[in-house]
Amino acid sequence: MIENQPIPHSVGCEKSVLSTLIKEPEKADDAAQLSGEHFHLPGHRLIYSYIMDEIHGPDPVSPEGIDIMSVMQKLNEKGELAKVGGAATLADLQTYSPSSFHFLKHVEELTRFLAYRKAIVAAESIKETAYGMGEASELLSATSAPITEIQDLVTGSRSRSMSKGMVIEEALGRFEQKCRGEATPMGIETSLYEFNKAFMGLHPRKTIVISAYPGGGKTTLAIQLCMDAALAGANALICSLEVPQVDIMDKMLAYASNRPLQAVIDPIGYCREVHGKDKPTRELLLAIQNGTNRIKEANIEIQDMVASNAHQIGAVIRRECRRKALDVVAVDYAQRMRSTPEMARESREQQLAQSSNFLADLSKELGFTLLLPSQLNAAGGTKHAAAINEDADIHIQILQDDDKNHTGIMVEKNRGGESGQILPLVLDGPASRFKSRPTL
């Protein structure tokens, strides 16, 4: 901390906001982001808490505003009146702001000062962690979350709790839009009709676990869903813990070009086998060029995350979110995540449970769909961690018969929807994509 520098705050803005809330408590609904920590002075934080107790108390607040004498009495009964500066302070607040005209502007100022104070605290924590030279994950924890929180405060992008009235208003607004045909319950539409019908596409803050046996197509399905989202204009990120970035790009290129994976991996061999040509055909080259352009235009990134733990993955996700809001994130795959340092002595089940819970919480905080492929063990259960499925909003299992032929996708869990059905979706191996099962 720089010596002799005042802590960023504004006494005037704090008093103005408190004064407005006392006289017009309904204004609290217009500033749902406001909290006690927005007030730097301890006395103001305490007064704010008593004001909010009055607003959210069992008895309705008078149209004339909060009874300041009631607040004063409660403070006195708890021996806290002196902490706020006595009765004179409350009397001053009651008349401090003549109108609510500057209320939201002053709330914005308090938010800005709060961001400055958090930046100072974060800088001290980062410096202490760096001098301590501990685990790399400790440095990530000290930097990623605080930086995201500070940016959210400055940009106003953080999702905040709303009052019941605001929630009702938003819900009714969405309902009316759907009634007028201006909105649809469909999220990000995928290329799989049966998937869209069962889950209404991909939705923010949802965790989708895709389980399969080794080689069952869980990575392929995750990449396909990410590609569908990106080609539809959404922002997607693939964090690969096993498959090299170039191999994933091969799959993406085959998908975007609508050509078999073999045509990308071995174009001469493919054309010799399919077209009887000893060199790539013009049609194939044009298709690959078109697919390349589609990928270049799409907002999709691949990050090589081999040997990473959940904190390291989370730091990359936060970094990407600071560049642009992410809509879909695939972490491939759950069992490849390393343990975080604090869980090193725990069982593998507990390590993976903590990691999947961390990522599921992150998806809800940052508002993206999390695709989490997960490997099945020989008995058909989730390898090492059944808790992964508990964190899921949707859990689907890719089904194969004894000969490894794909037979469909089982909806093991669909929070808020139907479970137990089998979607007629199977892997087309040569095309490296899932598609509807042919009807007999």
pLDDT tens-digit profile of 336-390? 999 887 788 888 889 998 999 999 999 998 999 999 999 987 766 666 667 788 8
Helix axes 136-155, 103-132, angle to 10 degrees: 170
Q: What confidence tens digit (pLDDT) does each residue in 179-211 have? A: 988 888 899 999 999 999 999 999 999 999 999
* Residue 158: band (very low, low, confident or very high) from pLDDT cuts 50, 70, 90: very low
Q: What confidence tens digit (pLDDT) does each residue in 12-35 have? A: 999 999 999 999 888 887 777 789
- 191 contacts 376 by C-beta, under 8 angstroms: no
> DSSP string spanning 54-121?
HHTSSSPPPTT---HHHHHHHHHHTT-TGGGT-HHHHHHHHHH-S-STTHHHHHHHHHHHHHHHHHHH
- The verdict on 393 and 320 lying in the same domain is yes
Average pLDDT in the 103-130 region?
A: 88
Could you give the CA distance from residue 366 to residue 141 in angstroms, rounded to a whole number? 16
Strand, coil or helix: what is 435?
strand
- The verdict on 209 and 319 lying in the same domain is yes
Average pLDDT in the 84-94 region?
A: 91
Q: What is the predicted pLDDT for the residue at 385?
A: 63
Helix (H) or strand (E) holding 399: strand 394-400
- 22 contacts 98 by C-beta, under 8 angstroms: no
Residues 6+ apart with CB under 8 A from 156: 33, 111
pLDDT exceeds 50 at position 47? yes
Could you give the CA distance from residue 306 to residue 336 in angstroms, rounded to a whole number? 8
* Residue 170: band (very low, low, confident or very high) from pLDDT cuts 50, 70, 90: confident
Average pLDDT in the 285-308 region?
A: 95
We report the CATH number of the domain holding residue 358 as 3.40.50.300
Q: What angle do CA 405, 391, 331 make, to 5 degrees?
A: 60
Does some domain include residue 169? no
Average pLDDT in the 380-402 region?
A: 82
pLDDT exceeds 70 at position 235? yes
Does some domain include residue 425? yes
- The verdict on 121 and 16 lying in the same domain is yes
Q: What is the predicted pLDDT for the residue at 328?
A: 98
- The verdict on 208 and 275 lying in the same domain is yes
CA atoms within 13 A on the CB side of 279: 1
Lowest-pLDDT range, 76-80, 154-158, 203-207, 348-352?
154-158
- The verdict on 204 and 348 lying in the same domain is yes
Task: Tell me the whole-structure pTM to 2 decimals.
Answer: 0.68
- Beta bridge partners of residue 414, listed in sequence order: 394
Tokens 């970094």 -> residue = 319
Collect contacts of 190-194 with beta carbons under 8 A, ≥24 apart: 190/224, 190/225, 190/228, 190/229, 191/224, 191/228, 191/433, 192/224, 192/228, 192/425, 192/434, 192/435, 192/436, 193/436, 194/423, 194/424, 194/425, 194/436
Could you give the CA distance from residue 366 to residue 323 in angstroms, rounded to a whole number? 13
- The verdict on 103 and 158 lying in the same domain is yes
Q: What is the predicted pLDDT for the residue at 283?
A: 95
Could you give the CA distance from residue 283 to residue 277 in angstroms, rounded to a whole number? 12
Q: Which residue has the higher pLDDT, 88 or 1?
A: 88
C-alpha separations of 46 from 29, 107, 411 in Å: 20, 17, 50
- The verdict on 268 and 346 lying in the same domain is yes
C-alpha separations of 202 from 56, 198, 285, 369, 386 in Å: 36, 11, 32, 7, 23
- The verdict on 74 and 122 lying in the same domain is yes
* Residue 159: band (very low, low, confident or very high) from pLDDT cuts 50, 70, 90: very low
Does some domain include residue 188? no
Domain count, the chain: 2
Among the three residues 124, 149, 164, which one is the final residue of a domain in this structure? 164
Nearest to 396 by CA among 234, 185, 224: 224
Does some domain include residue 37? yes
- The verdict on 202 and 160 lying in the same domain is no
* Residue 101: band (very low, low, confident or very high) from pLDDT cuts 50, 70, 90: confident
The one-letter amino acid code at 264 reads: V
- 368 contacts 327 by C-beta, under 8 angstroms: yes
Q: Is 253 exposed, middle or buried (0-12, 13-18, 19+ CB in 10 A)?
A: buried
Q: What is the predicted pLDDT for the residue at 384?
A: 63
Beta strands in 273-355 (DSSP E): 299-304, 328-332
- The verdict on 29 and 155 lying in the same domain is yes
| Rounded-to-10 torsion of CA 277, 280, 286, 292 | 150
- The verdict on 427 and 336 lying in the same domain is yes
* Residue 3: band (very low, low, confident or very high) from pLDDT cuts 50, 70, 90: low
CA atoms within 13 A on the CB side of 149: 16
pLDDT exceeds 90 at position 124? no
Average pLDDT value for the chain: 88
Does some domain include residue 3? no
Q: What confidence tens digit (pLDDT) does each residue in 410-431 have? A: 999 999 788 999 999 999 988 8
Residues 6+ apart with CB under 8 A from 252: 223, 227, 295, 300
- The verdict on 300 and 151 lying in the same domain is no
Q: What is the predicted pLDDT for the residue at 381?
A: 67
Q: What angle do CA 19, 20, 26 make, to 5 degrees?
A: 135
The whole domain housing 70 covers 11-164
pLDDT exceeds 80 at position 394? yes
Q: What confidence tens digit (pLDDT) does each residue in 312-323 have? A: 898 889 888 878
Does some domain include residue 181? no
- Beta bridge partners of residue 174, listed in sequence order: none
We report the CATH number of the domain holding residue 63 as 1.10.860.10
